[in-house]
Amino acid sequence: MSAWHGKSKGAPLGYRIFVWVLKTFGVLPAYFLLRIVVLYYFFFSFKASRQIYLLYRRKLGYGRLSSLFKLYKNYFLLGQGIIDKVVLMSGIKNNFTFDFDGEENLHKVASMGKGGILLSAHIGNWDVAGHLFKRLQNRINIVLYDGEHEQIKEYLEGVTGKRNMNIIVIKNDLSHIYKISEALSNNELVCMHADRFLEGNKTLTADFLGEPARFPMGPFLLASKFKVPVNYVFAVKESNLHYHLFSSGIKDYSVFAKNEVMQQMLNEYVGEVEQKVKQYPEQWFNYYNFWEKKKDDTN
């Protein structure tokens, strides 16, 4: 069974402490406090740590000490991303800077009048990217599992206010499909991750970092059914106060046969994700066995 259950870790008290530090002292002192907190996860989150360590050792070929260092940095960057989200969404004074490669591609999608789907992964800081997409002057819809613990979510909304984008929550009754359809028909952008799934959901398989891995079918099925332009987008952190956002060229999959389109889309998506993981290995935030096989797999 997949070790990801659609929920995030953390406690409201921890968020309160960091928000107080941010408002009182600023971003860099909060990062200093974070280094102490990260030690707990580094030493005591064995299951999560093991998966990231094995990624560095077996998939990317780093040495033991280098893999341990990258593991610590991975937790640190994850924590920084949460802090940065609070800072940007609540308007706390900061000195963040941004580069945006391919922004013209997203403006072009908006001008086509068909709507568009933006596919990303749990690499870097998607919340920062979503916050900055407002400069596109198009309504942005974020599709996600409502997996944050309710207490944490309520506290963050109290600090930052409601997210400045429309949230479409994935539900068992498939009502989110109708909301996505409505958004696309209104020439809006729909953003979703395409690298995690809950056990029982339909999946597609592609080679990722040298071994077959499963990806959720949903995002690729939606893009093929609605026949809208697709972009692959990522936002990564390149220094303490600098982010780099990437948008691929516009992908048109309408030219592919119906039985080929989803696999073609998945293969190109995986290629983009693999490139980013190799370029920014410490910013891969999937803390479970990403290559786990189905129970009925015989290999």
The enclosing H or E element of 79 equals helix 64-90
pLDDT attached to residue 18: 80
Neighbours of 238 (CB within 10 A): 14
pTM: 0.87
pLDDT attached to residue 6: 46
Antiparallel, parallel or unpaired: β 230-239 and 242-247: antiparallel
How many Å is the Cα radius of gyration of the chain? 19
Q: To 10 degrees, the CA torsion angle through 27, 31, 32, 33?
A: 100
Burial class (CB in 10 A: 0-12, 13-18, 19+), 90: middle
Burial class (CB in 10 A: 0-12, 13-18, 19+), 140: buried
pLDDT attached to residue 5: 46
Residue numbers in the chain where pLDDT is lower than 70: 1-14, 130-132, 134, 146-165, 294-299
Contact criterion met (CB below 8 Å) for 42 and 75? yes
The 10s digit of each residue's pLDDT in 179-200 is 999 999 998 899 999 999 888 8
The 10s digit of each residue's pLDDT in 41-66 is 899 999 999 999 999 999 999 999 99
The residues spanned by each domain of the chain are: 12-283
pLDDT attached to residue 244: 94
